[in-house]
């Protein structure tokens, strides 16, 4: 984390840019633009929890810099429909429900379905590539970009302070499945106009060359399904319309029907089919209930869970907790990239499925997925076309941001004009110069069940200790004048030791320590609890090399 320092008041005629998420992480992408007292937001996504965040459902951007300025927000531009770009929208709209949402047809349809579950009716404006809209002093132009979901858009933001180009997530597939390529002519036009700040996707900036074609995946999927002896289960992101299209086509070619499995998969593909983005061959889709009665060699299950999420369909199959019971001769295809941080969870699911007898096909042993993000070669093209004056790489871990900035420098962007930052960095743009004006102290906002932002890092630390080390509770009733133990110590433990006799050694130490504390002037309940905690902590650490949670309960008589 960079050193925190407050930015000065925003000078007139200056554009301020504050990424609230997406820097140093793959997820919770959100950037706030401020000009003359008005705020424009690009994306509002979530980050999915890792193993060291037990019990957490989602992680949101920290809204604190805008929480008191909700009425200043003129709109939220959504670049595309992936969760790491739209997942936090319901939580933002719970703070102010009438914030206008701008995005493509498919993006807004996915957002509206999500908001319906939260009982929010949004105000939306559907936009297309080539369209321009004005929100206050923000003049927005939407540009077609190619990604792993249809209808993705980059946005050019014009203000009197300068022109900013935010790519959203993009790549430059020259033969996309939907024939909608990244509009490099528009990029070139913006380059001629003069891009003052370029904010490019950094996810694959450290990958040399060019991202492979989506078109290459179809024949591989068709071949894997052709060789499968029994059932085929394909796991992918629930919004990856192109991949689902390829699975439908491959199933038809092999005389199989497809069942969509997982609530989000069924919902998203229903939306995509209704809007014409997913072309469903006649008779190929079948409900899960009917699919279970089909012969094993006549069905493909298209499911969620490609990132090893414990509650998603694939992990439940691996744990034999799903109605689809994976067994010998089944084929499982993981048609997705590994999001950093999910590796252990994914390999745990792969091992579980393999143990059940399934053949697991993944990106590591077959070309069943290509990334949706531009590799270094594609980014170099963009830099050469745009010739930006300043660069603020977004969407990536620190290594990705650094690699992207290095590409900018290689193409002639001055090193002083490339900004690598953390969430909360404050960048001011004026007269073609971007400079760091501050660094806000932002944290993670955890969604845990129905609570939002109430779980802290300290709570998660306690959960990890409970999970890894267990806990010991000690109950005593004492005479607070003498510290003499009247009842107890009664010791209970969970996740530590089954045989209670292990505590026989420490009981006399607790009794002696309480008497000693009373003689030294300790009279309050909290003081006696601390004495017990220190005594038991020292004993358990010395004797057992463990650090469980210690919960003393003292009653004074």
User: Where do the H-state alpha helices sit in 168-216?
Assistant: 184-193
Higher pLDDT, 317 or 132: 132
Instruction: Evaluate if residue 84 carries a pLDDT over 80.
Output: yes
| Pairing mode of beta strands 257-261, 299-303 | parallel
Beta pairing partners, 539: none
pLDDT band at 181 (very low <50, low <70, confident <90, very high): very high
How far is the C-alpha of 56 from the C-alpha of 455, rounded, in Å?
9
Q: How confident is the model at residue 498, as a pLDDT? A: 56
Which domains does the chain show, CATH number per domain?
15-209+371-452 (3.60.15.10), 214-361 (3.40.50.10710), 470-556 (3.10.20.580)
> In which element (H, E) is residue 493 found?
strand 485-494
How far is the C-alpha of 47 from the C-alpha of 85, rounded, in Å?
9
Higher pLDDT, 531 or 6: 6
Ramachandran bin of 76, using left for φ above 0, alpha for ψ from -120 to 50, beta for the remaining angles: beta
User: Where do the H-state alpha helices sit in 275-397?
Assistant: 288-291, 313-318, 343-355, 376-386
pLDDT band at 488 (very low <50, low <70, confident <90, very high): confident
Specify the range with the lowest mean pLDDT, choosing from 293-307, 366-380, 496-510: 496-510
Beta pairing partners, 75: 40
- Sheet with 445-448, strands from edge to edge, namely 58-60, 445-448, 451-452
Exposure string of 416-446, with b = 16+ CB inside 10 Å and e = fewer, is ebbbbbbbbbbbbbbeeebeebbbbebebbb
How far is the C-alpha of 550 from the C-alpha of 553, rounded, in Å?
10
Q: How confident is the model at residue 370, as a pLDDT? A: 87
> In which element (H, E) is residue 544 found?
helix 525-544
440-468 average pLDDT score = 67
How far is the C-alpha of 113 from the C-alpha of 460, rounded, in Å?
31
Instruction: Evaluate if residue 65 carries a pLDDT over 70.
Output: yes
How far is the C-alpha of 299 from the C-alpha of 292, rounded, in Å?
9
How far is the C-alpha of 143 from the C-alpha of 130, rounded, in Å?
6
20-30 average pLDDT score = 92
The closest of 150, 144, 107 to 125, measured between CA atoms, is: 107
Kindly write down the DSSP assignment for every residue of 315-349, as one continuous string.
HHHHTT-SSS---TT-EEEE-SPPPTT-HHHHHHH
Residue in the block written with tokens 């792969």 = 350
pLDDT band at 463 (very low <50, low <70, confident <90, very high): low
Write down the mean pLDDT value for the chain. Answer: 87
Q: What angle do CA 530, 534, 538 make, to 5 degrees?
A: 170
The closest of 541, 550, 547 to 489, measured between CA atoms, is: 550
Specify the range with the lowest mean pLDDT, choosing from 14-18, 403-407, 463-467, 515-519: 463-467
Residue 189 main-chain phi, psi, to 5 deg: -65, -40
Q: How confident is the model at residue 319, as a pLDDT? A: 83
pLDDT band at 510 (very low <50, low <70, confident <90, very high): confident
Environment class of residue 450 by beta-carbon count within 10 Å: exposed (0-12), middle (13-18) or buried (19+)? exposed
Q: How confident is the model at residue 237, as a pLDDT? A: 85
- Structural tokens at position 244: 């689902």
Give, rounded to a whole angstrom, the gap between the first and last alpha carbons of the chain. 49
- Structural tokens at position 533: 């905690």
> Has this prediction a pTM greater than 0.75?
yes
Q: How confident is the model at residue 250, as a pLDDT? A: 94
* Angle, in degrees to the nearest 10, between helices 398-410 and 376-386: 50
Share of the chain above pLDDT 90, in %: 57
Each residue of 312-348: pLDDT tens digit?
788 888 888 888 888 898 999 888 776 766 677 788 8
CA count, 13 A, side-chain hemisphere, 550: 18
Contact predicate 183/195, CB 8 Å: no
Each residue of 86-131: pLDDT tens digit?
999 999 999 999 999 999 999 999 999 999 988 999 999 999 999 9
Instruction: Evaluate if residue 424 carries a pLDDT over 90.
Output: yes
Instruction: Evaluate if residue 454 carries a pLDDT over 60.
Output: no
Instruction: Evaluate if residue 310 carries a pLDDT over 60.
Output: yes
**Alpha-carbon distances of 194 from 163, 191, 309, 506, rounded to whole Å:** 7, 5, 44, 74
Each residue of 395-417: pLDDT tens digit?
999 999 999 999 999 999 999 99
Instruction: Evaluate if residue 494 carries a pLDDT over 90.
Output: no
Instruction: Evaluate if residue 11 carries a pLDDT over 80.
Output: yes
Q: How confident is the model at residue 481, as a pLDDT? A: 72
Q: How confident is the model at residue 267, as a pLDDT? A: 93
CA count, 13 A, side-chain hemisphere, 274: 11
Cis omega before residue 489 (within 30°)? yes
Q: How confident is the model at residue 324, as a pLDDT? A: 85
Contact predicate 257/293, CB 8 Å: no
CA dihedral (371, 375, 378, 384) in degrees, to 10, reads: 150
Instruction: Evaluate if residue 214 carries a pLDDT over 70.
Output: yes
Q: What angle do CA 193, 198, 200 make, to 5 degrees?
A: 135
Specify the range with the lowest mean pLDDT, choosing from 13-27, 216-230, 261-275, 513-527: 513-527
434-440 average pLDDT score = 95
> In which element (H, E) is residue 406 found?
helix 398-410
Q: C-alpha 45: how far from its chain's center?
A: 7
| Pairing mode of beta strands 471-478, 549-556 | parallel
277-306 average pLDDT score = 90
Instruction: Evaluate if residue 7 carries a pLDDT over 70.
Output: yes
Exposure string of 148-174, with b = 16+ CB inside 10 Å and e = fewer, is bbbbbbbbbbbbebbbbbbbbbbbbbe
Instruction: Evaluate if residue 524 carries a pLDDT over 90.
Output: no
- Structural tokens at position 537: 């902590």
The closest of 266, 278, 263, 345 to 309, measured between CA atoms, is: 345
Ramachandran bin of 264, using left for φ above 0, alpha for ψ from -120 to 50, beta for the remaining angles: alpha
pLDDT band at 226 (very low <50, low <70, confident <90, very high): very high
Residue in the block written with tokens 């060291």 = 52
Instruction: Evaluate if residue 455 carries a pLDDT over 80.
Output: no
Contact predicate 254/96, CB 8 Å: no
377-382 average pLDDT score = 96
Q: How confident is the model at residue 106, as a pLDDT? A: 95
Instruction: Evaluate if residue 376 carries a pLDDT over 90.
Output: yes
- Structural tokens at position 391: 């660069």
Beta pairing partners, 333: 234, 361
Q: C-alpha 220: how far from its chain's center?
A: 28
Environment class of residue 62 by beta-carbon count within 10 Å: exposed (0-12), middle (13-18) or buried (19+)? buried
502-524 average pLDDT score = 77
């Amino acid at each position: 984390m960079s050193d925190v320092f407050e930015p000065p008041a925003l000078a007139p005629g200056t554009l301020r840019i504050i990424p609230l998420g997406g820097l140093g992480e793959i997820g919770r992408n959100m950037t706030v633009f401020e000009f003359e007292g008005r705020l424009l937001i690009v994306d509002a996504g979530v980050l999915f929890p890792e193993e060291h965040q037990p019990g957490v459902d989602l992680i949101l951007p920290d809204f604190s810099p805008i929480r008191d300025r909700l009425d200043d927000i003129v709109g939220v531009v959504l670049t595309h429909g992936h969760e790491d770009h739209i997942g936090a929208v319901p939580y933002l709209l719970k703070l102010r429900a009438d914030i206008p949402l701008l995005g493509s047809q498919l993006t807004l349809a996915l957002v509206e379905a999500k908001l319906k579950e939260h009982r929010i009716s949004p105000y939306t404006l559907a936009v297309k590539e080539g369209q321009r809209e004005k929100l206050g002093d923000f003049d927005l132009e939407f540009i077609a970009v190619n990604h792993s979901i249809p209808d993705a858009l980059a946005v050019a933001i014009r203000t009197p302070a300068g022109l900013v180009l935010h790519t959203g997530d993009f790549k430059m597939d020259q033969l996309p499945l939907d024939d909608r390529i990244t509009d490099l002519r528009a990029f070139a036009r913006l380059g001629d106009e003069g891009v003052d700040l370029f904010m490019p996707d950094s996810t694959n900036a450290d990958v040399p060359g060019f991202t492979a074609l989506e078109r290459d995946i179809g024949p591989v999927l068709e071949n894997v399904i052709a060789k499968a002896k029994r059932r085929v289960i394909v796991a992918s992101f629930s919004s990856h319309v192109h991949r689902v299209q390829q699975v439908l086509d491959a199933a038809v070619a092999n005389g199989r029907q497809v069942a969509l499995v997982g609530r989000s998969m069924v919902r998203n593909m229903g939306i995509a089919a209704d809007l014409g983005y997913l072309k469903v061959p006649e008779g190929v889709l079948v409900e899960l209930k009917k699919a279970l009665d089909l012969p094993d060699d006549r069905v493909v299950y298209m499911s969620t869970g490609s990132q090893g999420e414990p509650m998603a369909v694939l992990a439940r199959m691996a744990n034999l907790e799903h109605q689809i019971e994976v067994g010998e001769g089944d084929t499982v295809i993981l048609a997705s990239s590994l999001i950093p941080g999910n590796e252990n969870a994914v390999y745990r699911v792969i091992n579980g499925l393999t143990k059940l007898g399934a053949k697991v096909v993944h990106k590591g042993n077959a070309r069943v997925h290509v990334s949706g993000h531009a590799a270094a070669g594609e980014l170099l093209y963009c830099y050469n076309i745009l010739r930006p004056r300043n660069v603020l790489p977004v969407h990536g871990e620190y290594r990705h941001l650094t690699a992207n900035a290095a590409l900018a420098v290689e193409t002639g962007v001055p090193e002083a004009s490339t900004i690598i930052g953390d969430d909360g960095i404050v960048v001011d743009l004026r007269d073609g110069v971007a400079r760091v004006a501050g660094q806000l102290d932002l944290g993670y906002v955890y969604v845990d069940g129905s609570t939002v932002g109430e779980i802290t890092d300290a709570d998660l630390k306690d959960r990890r200790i409970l999970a890894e080390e267990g806990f010991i509770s000690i109950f005593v009733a004492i005479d607070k004048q003498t510290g003499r133990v009247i009842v107890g110590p009664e010791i209970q433990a969970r996740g530590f030791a089954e045989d209670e006799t292990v505590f026989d050694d420490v009981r006399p130490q607790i009794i002696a320590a309480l008497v000693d504390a009373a003689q030294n002037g300790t009279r309050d309940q909290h003081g006696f609890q601390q004495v017990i905690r220190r005594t038991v902590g020292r004993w358990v650490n010395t004797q057992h090399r463990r650090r469980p949670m210690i919960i003393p309960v003292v009653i004074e008589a």
